[in-house]
Amino acid sequence: MSDSIDVPVTLAGIARIAGVGRAAVSNWRRRHDSFPTPVGGTDTSPQFSLAAVERWLYAHGKIERIGLRERLWPHYEALGERAVMGAALAEAGRRLLAAEGADQAVPEQSLLPEEAAQVVDETVDAARHEGGRETFDFLLSRWLDAHVRQVSTTPAPLARLMADIALAVRAGGTGDGDARTTVLDPACGVGGLLMAAGEGIGEWGAETNSTAPALLGTDLDPTLAALAAARLGFARAGGGGMDAEIRAGDSLRADPHGAVRADIVLGNPPFNARDWGHEELATDPRWVYGLPPRTEPELAWIEHALARLVPDGVAVLLLPPAVASRRAGRRIRGALLRTGALRGVVALPAGAAQPHSVSLQLWILRMPASDSGAPGERLFLLDAATSQGAARGAQSIDWPRLSGRVLDAVHAHSWSGERKTGARKQLPEGCVTVPVMDLLDEQTDLTPARHVPETAVEAQAKLHESWGRLDGLLGEVRGHSRSLAAIDLSASGDAASTVTVSDLDRAHALKLRQGQTLPGELLHGDALSDGAVPVLSVPDLVQGEGPGGWLAGAEVEKGASTGSFTVAEPGDVVVAGVERAYRVWVQEDTPLVLGPQLYALRPDRELLDPWFLAGCLRAPANARQAGSHTSSSARIDVRKLRVLQLSLAEQRPYAAAFRELLALEESLRSVAAVGEDLLRGLGDGLAAGRLHRSRR
């Protein structure tokens, strides 16, 4: 591999190369004066010369050998733009497949910059020692990790579950004997769903000697389409038995696979895309179930999937939960039910896929056969959102258990619509079939949780957990109460003198900064990635939730330096300047980007204690005096808020008392929330006749 180009590498990159945690690299920097000095970046995110880092690691015995693939990745990072990095990797995949003599249809990336072309050469050179597919898969994984919020992927266990559901609904296989199965993904990304479908059909076909499946994919992004083609090309070259054809294009506006009818359609289409072609596609023949509203692009993908299926073909789509209940889509949901096109909805645990904070759903659709009888009279609903790990995110999801639970329910249901007796399996707990006529009301809400009764075991487990939380919270309340009850407020004398925030700002005792409107194109709404900075707005506070989005760390650093972002650092006092959401707190742990009507006060620690400052500002009487009632929004003029004039030593006992007061308030709010859950759970359980009477 060529050493002609030196590239910068971050602390995280050094940690990956050395096979240690980032904290270990930070320790090396502090303990060894010989550690390489930064060549770029910033104080919080420095960059180092890769060549200098390698020499230091070898000289100090931190590593014996650096793998060629690990050395490659910093060269890709140095290319900068996501599209350039991806195009270089796709071209490397094309050349590696060609070198192996594999039949593949990866488009050549013809206009690569000189630096990118050299990285491709280095990749091909390294692959001679590391293996072509191994090198490509490694670099693709790194590329996806680096751009996890710009490139949405379907986790491999979920992709396989979707494929297995489709196969099970298609009567346990791929249709007619040895007939070739065609699988289509109209928004394929880097091909994860098609890979899973090929593997699933391959395992079934090994027992039946069926023909290898035809895998068809389309993606709007040519780079993603090229990467998917290379990925599936390596799978085929490795004996995966997959015949793939990936094309770049807009599936909704001009589908390059428009003439194809597939046996299975799998999809994880883009969510909330407003510019999907509503106007130009108004008379499109695909809208058999009604023209999707502009605000319902997911319904357009549903109707598109059905239009691309053969009769009795099956589609499984991953969709946001709002599709099942939004009023704008009620008419189309009703049409899907009446025709029998929609056969099932499965609610997944939060964290199963991006956005990780939402409990996504799998919609199971089947194209009605022209000669079929009456459509299915019942809708299959499974609430798997309460599976183990649902409340803890993707890392805690027990995929084998979740997949087993879903597939057991799918196999137990009769997807043909026929009523079986005797041999028919009983549906497991958490799964029901609901008469279609019962769902066709004013809402046509298909959310599984609205129709699937909570099991007695789940209800009892929730109650047990809530009782434990309540006991712990009551202990906290008692502790805070004892501390605050000892406070003596009987001191009398002259009224304490105060000073306004504006005066303190002018005297440089604190620095007052106001939150700003944030660019929507940079704001992300799913789970935080590494290095991301959460963003808080007044609506987030009104809704009683935490930060509603986040920004990439590099964007925040750039915005803070130019003054376009207001960032509250740990130790700053944050004030919400509207009466309906008036809050004051000391920001702890992590930085926070502030939206409009939020303020960050950074006190001079030699003059002001942050907790003392926050305690003075959050007094209700203080906010009333500084309030402006000239409009319905009733804003608080933060500059008019008043603070006691005390020395730093005199502030300390006030700060301790304010801190204890805030802790008590938080504990009481938590007690109220847990108490409401307990009351609901106990009331529902008793009304359902679940009271267990022990025999004596």
320's CB contacts (< 8 A; 6+ apart) are 271, 272, 298, 355, 358, 360, 361
Q: Which helix (H) or strand (E) holds 127?
A: helix 114-130
What is the Cα–Cα distance from 104 to 113, expressed in whole angstroms? Answer: 24
425 contacts 407 by C-beta, under 8 angstroms: no
- Both tokens of 207, joined, read 């027992």
The Cα-based distances of 116 to 90, 99, 108 in angstroms read: 11, 19, 14
Q: Which residue has the higher pLDDT, 122 or 345?
A: 345
List pLDDT tens digits, range 4-18.
457 788 887 788 777
Which phi and psi (to 5°) does residue 294 adopt? -55, -35
**Given a cut of 70, is residue 107 above it in pLDDT?**
yes
- Both tokens of 654, joined, read 């006030």
Q: Which residue has the higher pLDDT, 413 or 319?
A: 319
Instruction: Tell how strand 533-536 and strand 573-576 pair up.
Output: unpaired
Residues 201-226 as b or e (16 or more Cβ within 10 Å = b)? bbebbeeeebbbbbbbbbbbbbbbbb
What is the Cα–Cα distance from 341 to 689, expressed in whole angstroms? Answer: 37
* Helical spans, DSSP H, in 287-343: 297-307, 330-339
421 pLDDT tier (thresholds 50, 70, 90): very low
- Both tokens of 173, joined, read 């296989």
Which phi and psi (to 5°) does residue 335 adopt? -65, -40
List pLDDT tens digits, range 525-554.
554 555 678 888 888 787 666 676 777 777
413's CB contacts (< 8 A; 6+ apart) are 344, 380, 427, 431, 433
Among residues of the chain, what percentage have pLDDT more than 70? Answer: 86
SS (H, E, C) 53-89: HHHHHHHCCCCCCCCHHHHHHHHHHCCCCHHHHHHHH
250's CB contacts (< 8 A; 6+ apart) are 220, 277
List pLDDT tens digits, range 172-212.
444 454 578 999 999 999 999 999 999 888 776 554 445 77
What is the Cα–Cα distance from 399 to 569, expressed in whole angstroms? Answer: 38
Which is it for the CA torsion 568, 570, 571, 573, positive or negative? positive
Radius of gyration from C-alpha coordinates of the chain = 30
Angle at 559 between CA 555 and CA 563, to 5 degrees: 175
38 pLDDT tier (thresholds 50, 70, 90): confident
The Cα-based distances of 396 to 107, 319, 498, 615, 663 in angstroms read: 39, 21, 51, 38, 29
Q: What is the pLDDT of residue 478?
A: 93
Q: What is the pLDDT of residue 27?
A: 83
What is the Cα–Cα distance from 662 to 561, expressed in whole angstroms? Answer: 33
Angle at 353 between CA 350 and CA 355, to 5 degrees: 75
User: pTM of this prediction?
Assistant: 0.69
